[in-house]
Structure 1
Amino acid sequence: MTPFTVTVGGLVADVLLPGGAGPFPAVLLRTPYDRLLHRAEQRGWARHGFAAVVQDVRGRHASTGVWQPYANETADGTATARWIRRQPWNDGRIVAVGASYAAHCALVLALDAPRDARPDAVVAAVPALGAADTAREPTGVERLAARAGWWAAHGDRRDSDEAALAGARAADPGLLAHLPVTGLPERLGRDLPSWPGLWRRGERGRLIARAGRAAVPLLAVGGHHDHFTEDTVALWRHWGGPCARLLLGPWGHRLVAEPGPDADPAHRVRLGALYARWARRALGGDLTAGARGVIGLGGSALWLDAGIEGEPYAPRLRALHGTSFLADPERPVSSDDLTAPARDTPDRCLLVTPPLPRPLDVVGPARLELRATADTPSADWAARLVALTPEGVAQRLAVGIVRRADTPGRAAGFTVELGRLARRLPAGTRLRLEIAGHHFPAHARNPHTGEDPVTATRLRASRRDLDPGGVLLRLPVLRSRPTPIDPAQEIPR
């Protein structure tokens, strides 16, 4: 099997046909990450009987035009899908596939393209739903490090430099701490005209809102350690097509190639073969209607029904060093370091549980309820949940962050969503809850002046006080032993 190269309206694509007589169903993957890096994936699809088309998006690598992230994918995908359906080797059926930004390309084609260009099924892995969705948490707090890394590597350039941000931070460890955040391009020493506009995007959730009108099957794939986990689950839950499947494992953004510390050998799924089998059944109309799926239970070898959720459990918490601290954006709590250094002036509130008397299977959304006070008009509240294993190893479980604008000095009650967990915690594990005013550089620092954190140039410290009786951690705990499920059987069912 040898691919041949075509150009569709200036967009360069490689096409690989299976052996034997056609026509064949097609798989379309549109990517900004260089189509040549997808040769193995392309061969895998062809071995399973699909004509595999991999295309560089506009302005990237071999394709002509100007690269504007998230701007042209519906129109360009439409033109490419129509071209595929005119080819003698295509039987008229198309599966749109992709991971991260490429999943965005597949989804907008399914949701926004004219009917004659829409695919017949979609595989969306770790979907970067849109510019606003990737730039901010659902609460509005800015995801700084991840977006700076992506824009430094891929933004406003034809090729990619995956090490761009790491290299710049090695030369200047305080690179992301310089203000304003919009000044990052100058510190990187290159032109990034789309960087400031990223933070002005306000359309978070638009793709999820449109997902209810979907008319084709979906396979959504994600990882518990991926920063788009909540978006992946929301896409699956809101999908309006005839059927939707969810596969969520203890993985990072690169899925099985990036297993988390809680992954088991049983979580090494052969994704390519599973995708192909699901796609065949989707195109044949052989999938069971409705939303189904499986999730991997970290810390075990189990896969569980994606619809299962535990019952609320509130572990007993004890504050270690009091419940007052100083949130100083000049000395923010690090998102990269799980140690909790002792300081004369605490920079966070630390609470711990006693050792767990028995193993707990925590499955579902976790949340923290707080009653607290800040002396500034704007305040972020970051909560990080850490598991301290019986061996003394600290493992990150969950992070949540909200932005509040309460009356300075007046206590307010609110909730911090910590995201979905799927983890078995062994007996003897202690939980450490950290409540702070920053989670940097994963998230931009709130300057506490009321200014936009992206354009602010002044910082102010913020004094915080927690009501000890108003701190409640709610974990979803399974009360009985879960029934194991085989993803290779459930996903294509």
Structure 2
Amino acid sequence: MSAHTTASGSTWAPSSRKPPLRARLLRASWRGLPAKRHDIGWEPGLVVPAADGSPLVTDHYFPRAEGDFPTLLVRSPYGRGLPWSPMYGVLFAEQGFHVVLQSCRGTGGSGGTFHLWRNESSDAQATVAWLREQPWFDGKLGTVGPSYLGYVQWALAREAPPELKAMAVQVGLHDPYALFYEDGALRLDNSLAVGAGMTYQHQGTGPFLRAMLRLRRRVRTAVGTRPLRDGYAPALGGGIPWLDEVLAHPDARDAYWQGADPGEAAARRTVPTSLVTGWHDALVDQAFVQYARLRAAGCETALLVGPWDHTSALQQGWPEVFTESLAWLRAHLCADPSGLRPTDVRIHVGGGQGTWRDLDAWPGQPAVTSWFPASGGYLTRQPPTDSAPLASFRYDPADPTPSVGGPLLSGAAGSRDNTALEAREDVLTFTGPPLSEPVEVVGPVSAHLRVHADTGYADVFTRLCDVDPQGRSVNVCDGLGRLRPQDGRTARLTVPMSATAHRFAAGHRIRWQISGGAHPRYAPHPGTDAARVDATEFTPVRLTLHADSALLLPQGAEDGQEVTAAP
């Protein structure tokens, strides 16, 4: 192929190879995407030196056209094949970007040893130094990608190079601790999913599928083993050193986690950032933290929240997610703002068919209403007259309350029928009357609880549900809090329950669900002061809810504009 001339007058002789056939076939199967602008080429197997000199294997996708094009850096621990090659290499190159798709250290053929976060900032900076030497690099750099591919974006932005002009973080991670723990409780389901994904996905489709099938066959044994620490290795095909370290450090204040979260420092660099998440994404709360940090720093920021979980955002939601990210990157790297939304925030309001709504900011200033539990399992707006014990249940960690749906990494995520769960004796429910008119809950949900634990050691899982006229109860949002002995056996605690945008239709009822856990989403509390992963003896606990507890619901949205179509 003949040499290309850039706008600056430099020339380079690109490879004449086309992207892999499997990538082109998958790309051809997608519908609802913007029309391609360029034929593209592919330079596979480039070697970029990491910060320590380890070879980072890198593929380069590019438009087959004369002139300058900005560059997108996509760093992945999951390999450079499907689906990353067509989703990022092919699609974005077709739209007029050089795409540098790189395997992180210790994955996908790259040298060195993978660690969950320690090398990403320095290796990203080393890659930018390599980019500066390439004849096709025009000095304008963006980043894009989901999940851990979002983490490496924050890691680069911690000390943002001057070339970095925009970031597009999709269902992204910035805080590894919060991926694995909630208020000190191990997110067991997430830990197993991340262990399998990080270990096998970069090896290719075959090894990854076999690993996931093995995990599915052995997950029940893995989560039921005592001590729990010994259970994961057979399910994941062997021990994983970095996962052992995670399990050994459940305290966020431990020095082990120091420097793991680059997001706060990155926000101060004010790189224009687009954030995409879903209401049932396992990382949805991290997206809201990212948004709040960026807004506080005065950074140009956009937020899209769809009706997705972590996986479906990149499958069913991909046309919306890709279009959103493409418009943002074009606006900031190509001086073309024509595809941007009219407002900074777009959310999907669930319930019924659901609608999209444009907002100037998230979450605005919604009015917060309190709902109170009452005798007989009722939920009412009438405040209690005392703080007397109201209802109790026995939680047995040897037979833990199961998890149903919610924000997970696994395929069990999302809204699910909670009817069978709520029939268990270890689950309390308080249900309001049929609504005479619709009620919208838009914003962060929380619970104020007064709870007595007869052992002094317990978790409290609290969930908001929507009950339809037929009695089917579906989860909306939830959260978990922990009772600590220093708080006394009767303690007050506030449990954040994430955020939502949900419309309870007329005739539906609002339900508050309370239990002692959600397994295997969270490792069960052993009922003692033993670490969850080391406990071999379990002690049942009786939990008693007092009447002066409350469910706090933010109602409505300010200045919202309905939009009839997806973004």
| TM norm structure 1 | 0.88
Q: Does 1:178 align with 2:218?
A: no
Contact 1:136 1:142 in 2 (8 A): yes
Identify unmatched segments of 5+ residues in structure 2.
1-39, 50-54, 378-389, 406-417
Matched residue, 1:262: none
Contact 1:70 1:130 in 2 (8 A): no
1:103-252 equivalences in 2 (<5 Å): 103-112=150-159, 115=161, 119-137=164-182, 139-155=183-199, 159=203, 161-162=208-209, 164=211, 166-171=213-218, 173-188=220-235, 189-199=237-247, 200=249, 202=252, 203=257, 206-239=261-294, 240=297, 242-252=299-309
TM superposition shift of 1:235: 0.5
Matched residue, 1:263: none
Q: Which of 21, 25, 44 pairs up with 2:70?
A: 25
When residues 320 and 33 of structure 1 are mapped into structure 2, their CA distance, relative to the original with a 3 A threshold, is: farther
Q: Does 1:79 align with 2:126?
A: yes
Q: Which of 99, 115, 121 pairs up with 1:52?
A: 99
When residues 105 and 212 of structure 1 are mapped into structure 2, their CA distance, relative to the original with a 3 A threshold, is: closer
Counterpart secondary structure, 1:179: coil
Q: Does 1:301 align with 2:329?
A: no
Matched residue, 1:355: 434
Separation of aligned partners in 2, 1:382 and 1:319: 20
Q: Which of 93, 100, 107 pairs up with 2:147?
A: 100
Q: Does 1:472 align with 2:511?
A: no
Q: Does 1:7 align with 2:51?
A: no
Separation of aligned partners in 1, 2:558 and 2:444: 18
AA paired with 2:240? L
1:435-454 equivalences in 2 (<5 Å): 435-454=514-533
Separation of aligned partners in 2, 1:213 and 1:102: 20
AA paired with 1:182? R
Contact 1:153 1:163 in 2 (8 A): no
When residues 216 and 479 of structure 1 are mapped into structure 2, their CA distance, relative to the original with a 3 A threshold, is: closer
TM superposition shift of 1:335: 0.5
Identify unmatched segments of 5+ residues in structure 1.
260-266
Separation of aligned partners in 2, 1:422 and 1:51: 37
When residues 326 and 128 of structure 1 are mapped into structure 2, their CA distance, relative to the original with a 3 A threshold, is: same
AA paired with 1:209? E
AA paired with 2:146? A
Q: Percent identity?
A: 28
TM superposition shift of 1:284: 5.5
Contact 2:372 2:549 in 1 (8 A): no
1:384-423 equivalences in 2 (<5 Å): 384-406=463-485, 410-423=489-502
Counterpart secondary structure, 2:153: helix
Q: Does 1:335 align with 2:403?
A: yes
When residues 272 and 171 of structure 1 are mapped into structure 2, their CA distance, relative to the original with a 3 A threshold, is: closer
Q: In the TM superposition, what whole-angstrom CA distance separates every residue of 1:394-427 from its partner, at most 9, and x where no partner exists?
A: 3111111011214687422221111101111111
When residues 234 and 392 of structure 1 are mapped into structure 2, their CA distance, relative to the original with a 3 A threshold, is: same
Counterpart secondary structure, 2:561: coil
AA paired with 2:326? A
When residues 430 and 152 of structure 1 are mapped into structure 2, their CA distance, relative to the original with a 3 A threshold, is: same
Separation of aligned partners in 2, 1:51 and 1:169: 39
When residues 316 and 442 of structure 1 are mapped into structure 2, their CA distance, relative to the original with a 3 A threshold, is: same
Counterpart secondary structure, 1:475: strand
Matched residue, 2:392: 324
Q: Which of 505, 520, 528 pairs up with 1:426?
A: 505
Q: In the TM superposition, what whole-angstrom CA distance separates every residue of 1:34-54 from its partner, at most 9, and x where no partner exists?
A: 212222222221122111111
TM superposition shift of 1:158: 5.7
Separation of aligned partners in 2, 1:88 and 1:319: 73
Segment of structure 1 superposing worse, 445-454 or 474-483 = 474-483
Matched residue, 1:311: 367
Separation of aligned partners in 2, 1:252 and 1:373: 34
Segment of structure 1 superposing worse, 47-56 or 425-434 = 425-434
Q: Which of 380, 385, 388 pairs up with 2:459?
A: 380
Contact 2:171 2:277 in 1 (8 A): yes
TM superposition shift of 1:355: 1.4
When residues 480 and 447 of structure 1 are mapped into structure 2, their CA distance, relative to the original with a 3 A threshold, is: same
When residues 409 and 106 of structure 1 are mapped into structure 2, their CA distance, relative to the original with a 3 A threshold, is: closer
TM superposition shift of 1:486: 8.2
Contact 2:356 2:565 in 1 (8 A): no
When residues 223 and 163 of structure 1 are mapped into structure 2, their CA distance, relative to the original with a 3 A threshold, is: farther
Separation of aligned partners in 2, 1:103 and 1:433: 34
Contact 2:355 2:563 in 1 (8 A): no
When residues 477 and 242 of structure 1 are mapped into structure 2, their CA distance, relative to the original with a 3 A threshold, is: closer
Question: How many equivalent residue pairs?
Answer: 474
Q: Does 1:292 align with 2:344?
A: yes
Counterpart secondary structure, 1:370: strand
AA paired with 1:282? H
Contact 1:326 1:461 in 2 (8 A): yes
Segment of structure 1 superposing worse, 321-330 or 358-367 = 321-330
Segment of structure 1 superposing worse, 97-106 or 320-329 = 320-329
Counterpart secondary structure, 1:90: coil
TM superposition shift of 1:309: 4.7
When residues 238 and 211 of structure 1 are mapped into structure 2, their CA distance, relative to the original with a 3 A threshold, is: farther
Contact 1:226 1:253 in 2 (8 A): yes
| TM norm structure 2 | 0.77
Segment of structure 1 superposing worse, 65-74 or 147-156 = 147-156
TM superposition shift of 1:292: 2.8
Contact 1:319 1:352 in 2 (8 A): no
Matched residue, 1:462: 541
AA paired with 1:323? A
Counterpart secondary structure, 1:194: helix
Alpha-carbon RMSD: 2.7
Contact 2:105 2:114 in 1 (8 A): yes
TM superposition shift of 1:479: 7.5
